Amino acid sequence: MKKFFSLILFAFFSLSQPALLLAAENSSTDQAKAMVKKAIAYYKINGKEKTFEAANDAAGPFNERDLYVVAYDLTGTVVAHGANKKLIGKNIIDLKDSDGVMIMKEQLAAAKGKNAGWVNYKWPHPLTKEMTQKSMYNEIVDDVMFACGVYK
């Protein structure tokens, strides 16, 4: 009987360990906002081309754990994406999440309204690939909107 309970406890902790590790890896809203500020500072020194190149680099300065920088032009076209290079060059102005949130339109409105803002929507988690609630921080500099989000 003792072995049975030991086996159950072992199985429980073994199976729950990845979920606990993943939860510990989720970044904070402060970290996401700081990542956008870091990308903007880099942009002001290095310009668009080098910043977009750095943002697209999975091992670069704007890609950590579940954080990655995305950059868009003001029409909703992806110009850099730290997690999905296939989206670069695509206009996603009409993109909706599973709840009907117009992701890009809301991001642009939030960033234009206060020159910075947060938008909540559902998006696949880069580590688990599961549809997850996400909160994205957006800020416009010149004709580029930089964004970085956290998964909840």
pLDDT exceeds 90 at position 147: yes
Q: How confident is the model at residue 66 (pLDDT cuts 50, 70, 90)?
A: confident
What is the sign of the dihedral through the CA atoms of 96, 119, 50 and 84?
negative
pLDDT of residue 98: 92
Write out the CATH class of domain 27-151: alpha beta
What is the residue type of 39? A
Cβ-contact 126, 69 below 8 angstroms: no
Domain locations in the chain as residue ranges: 27-151
- Percentage of the chain surpassing pLDDT 90? 70
Taking only the tens place, the pLDDT of each residue in 85-95 is 999 999 999 99
Query: Which one, of 64, 21, 65, lies nearest residue 39 by Cα?
Result: 64
- pLDDT digits over 20-37, tens only? 334 446 789 999 999 999
Bridge-based pairing state of the strands 67-68 and 63-64: antiparallel
Q: How far apart are CA 18 and CA 38, in angstroms?
A: 30
Q: How far is Cα 78 from Cα 15, in angstroms, rounded to an integer?
A: 38
pLDDT tens, residue by residue, 105-119:
999 999 988 657 999
pTM, two decimal places:
0.80
Kindly state the DSSP code that residue 129 receives in the 8-state scheme. -
Q: Which residue has the tokens 């943002």?
A: 55
